């Protein structure tokens, strides 16, 4: 039995090594998709770009170490759950200590600032040491739990998930998004080192915008679907699980038409991201429901009739509805060639969002080009783009996650999705 377990593990890691080589091949050109516009931008970014090959080789070494842990054979299910939850509790404590340290260093009225700061640094170092010990186990447990749910819903062959679920908690690169000013479209999405300060990000955005007459924005991201997947460290177990699934879906799509053609059109990019978001939400929920039910979100029950509010209070600010309205107006202005008017309007709307608690640093064409691709929920920054709505309709008409993933993965263009929807509408 022991020999069989090691053979299975060895096979699993041979498969993972294959996928790492595949993703290294693709990531070598990951910043070179769209030709001349991107090449022009890279004249400004090449010294600040994230080095994926080095990161992946390091992650491979770490994952090889995890291979010898044998978490599933050493820990009972209750112990696995306790270890994961303890990790997130320790991470919350680390975040609190980091915040306290920032406040101490920023407080001009403290007399013993350095002494207080040193005490907090010592406590933080102790917590971080424990997190470093937990992390390999937590990653392995979550990988196995996500794999189990994927297998339960029918994704995989003979109980094996391909590619295997593999991720690493890590600081993530920043993404520089570049869009033309006269239309909302991603012309460049370049990953930058995470150490760039806010001033450096603004300086880079401004330089590229002025020199190339484009719209730019440096954004934070939560995950990247290279292999192993890069996942941002977060205190939210729900967010982490959903993101693990989301990025695994990108891995799955990589050698299929929808993934291979990710950068060939905005429609395919939106289809890809929306598929990953929908499955991340649904299968992430299944993971939580099975292993961490106290963290599973409550699914809304159907309501027979809309409730009527008798309050005289004004309605709460609806971010998605307001952003939807903003995008529609911006698209209208740009379609008329009114670029300056559109940009003035976006700045005015940014201030409205700010006053209502949404502190957007920039609201421009690049913002909509990036955020508009994540169309798993109605309205929002996608505006009236029909692609996200079509994916959501197809999702509702397919009765299983595996069939939805399989059908979507083999689509080469948006018209394939439109044809698939027509099939449902004409089926008696």
| Edge-to-edge strand list for the sheet holding 188-192 | 188-192, 174-180, 214-219
pLDDT tens per residue across span 216-260: 999 999 999 888 999 999 999 999 999 999 999 999 999 899 999
The pLDDT, as a whole number, for residue 306 is 46
- Domain residues of the chain, as ranges? 2-30+51-166
Alpha helices in 356-400 (DSSP H): 365-371, 386-397
Indicate if the pLDDT at residue 35 is higher than 70. no
Give the pLDDT confidence score for residue 15 in this predicted structure: 54
Beta-carbon contacts of 378 under 8 Å, excluding residues fewer than 6 positions away, are 320, 389, 392
Quote the CA–CA distance of 332 and 330 in Å, as a whole number: 5
User: 323 with 381: CB under 8 angstroms?
Assistant: yes
Enumerate the β-bridge partners of residue 167. 229
Could you tell me if 387 and 331 are in contact, meaning their C-beta atoms sit under 8 angstroms apart? no
Q: For the chain, what is the mean pLDDT? A: 86
63 vs 139: CA distance, rounded Å: 9
pLDDT at position 2 over 50: no
List for the chain the helix, strand, coil content (%; round to 5): 65, 5, 30
pLDDT of residue 69: 57
pLDDT band at 103 (very low <50, low <70, confident <90, very high): confident
Is the pLDDT at 300 greater than 90, yes or no?
no
Contacts for 40 with CB less than 8 Å, ≥ 6 apart: 212
pTM (two decimals): 0.87
For residue 157, what pLDDT is reported?
Answer: 77
Between 5 and 396, the more confident residue is 396
Question: Does the structure show a pLDDT above 70 at 262?
Answer: yes
Q: What is the pLDDT of residues 60-88, one digit of tens each?
A: 887 776 665 555 557 888 999 999 999 99
Q: Which has the minimum average pLDDT: 26-40, 108-122, 188-202, 323-337? A: 26-40
What is the pLDDT, as a whole number, of residue 426? 64
* pLDDT recorded at residue 11: 47
First CA to last CA across the chain, in angstroms? 52
pLDDT, tens digit, 9 for 90 and up, residues 314-348: 678 999 999 999 999 999 999 999 999 999 999 99
Question: What is the pLDDT at residue 30?
Answer: 37
Provide the pLDDT for residue 307. 47
d(C-alpha 74, C-alpha 58), whole Å: 26
Tokens of 218: 């440096």
Q: Does pLDDT of 119 surpass 50? A: yes
Residue scoring higher pLDDT (78 or 108): 78
| 47 contact partners, CB below 8 Å, separation of at least 6 | none
Higher-scoring residue by pLDDT: 425, 166: 166
Q: What pLDDT score was predicted for residue 60?
A: 82
Residue range 379-402, pLDDT digits in tens: 889 988 899 999 999 999 987 999
- List 192's β-bridge partners, or say none: 49, 174
Residue showing tokens 């990019």: 269
Q: Which residues contact 2 (CB under 8 A, 6 or more apart)?
A: none
Tally of CB atoms within 10 A around 274:
25
Mean pLDDT, rounded, for 100-110: 83
Segment 2-26 mean pLDDT: 51
- Given this model, what pLDDT does residue 27 score? 46
Query: What is d(CA 326, CA 349) in angstroms, rounded to the nearest whole number?
Result: 7
């Amino acid at each position: 039995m022991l020999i069989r377990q090691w053979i299975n593990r060895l096979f699993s890691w041979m498969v993972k090594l294959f996928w790492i080589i595949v993703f290294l091949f693709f990531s070598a050109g990951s910043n070179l998709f769209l030709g001349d516009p991107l090449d022009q931008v890279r004249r400004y970014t090449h010294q600040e770009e994230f080095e994926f090959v080095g990161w992946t080789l390091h992650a491979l070494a770490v994952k090889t170490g995890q291979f010898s842990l044998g978490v599933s054979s050493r820990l009972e299910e209750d112990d696995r759950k306790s270890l994961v939850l303890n990790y997130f509790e320790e991470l919350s404590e680390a975040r609190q200590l980091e915040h306290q340290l920032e406040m101490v260093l920023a407080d001009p009225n403290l007399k013993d600032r350095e002494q207080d700061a040193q005490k907090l640094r010592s406590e933080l170092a102790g917590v971080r040491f424990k997190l470093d010990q937990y992390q390999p186990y937590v990653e392995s447990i979550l990988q196995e739990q996500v794999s189990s749910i994927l297998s339960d819903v029918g994704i995989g062959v003979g109980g094996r998930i391909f590619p295997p679920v593999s991720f690493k908690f890590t600081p993530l690169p920043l993404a520089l998004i570049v869009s033309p000013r006269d239309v909302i479209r991603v012309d460049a999405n370049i990953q930058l080192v995470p150490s760039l300060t806010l001033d450096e990000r603004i300086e880079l955005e401004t330089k590229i915008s002025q020199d190339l007459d484009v719209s730019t924005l440096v954004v934070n991201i939560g995950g990247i679907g290279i292999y192993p997947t890069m996942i941002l460290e977060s205190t939210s177990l729900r967010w982490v699980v959903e993101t693990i699934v989301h990025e695994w879906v990108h891995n799955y799509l990589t050698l299929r038409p929808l993934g291979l053609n990710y950068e060939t059109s905005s429609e395919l990019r939106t289809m890809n991201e929306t598929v990953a978001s929908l499955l991340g939400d649904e299968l992430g929920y299944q993971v939580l429901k099975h292993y961490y039910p106290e963290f599973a979100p409550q699914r809304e029950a159907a309501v027979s009739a809309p409730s009527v509010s008798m309050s005289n209070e004004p309605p709460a600010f609806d971010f998605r509805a307001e952003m939807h309205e903003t995008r529609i107006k911006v698209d209208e202005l740009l379609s008329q060639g009114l670029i300056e008017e559109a940009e003035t309007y976006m700045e005015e709307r940014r201030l409205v969002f700010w006053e209502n608690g949404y502190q957007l640093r920039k609201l421009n064409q690049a913002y909509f080009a990036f955020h508009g691709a994540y169309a798993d929920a109605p309205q929002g920054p996608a505006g009236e783009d029909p692609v996200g709505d079509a994916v959501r309709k197809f999702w509702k008409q397919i009765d299983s996650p595996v069939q939805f993933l399989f059908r979507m993965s083999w689509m080469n263009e948006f018209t394939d999705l439109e044809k698939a929807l027509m099939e449902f509408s004409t089926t008696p």
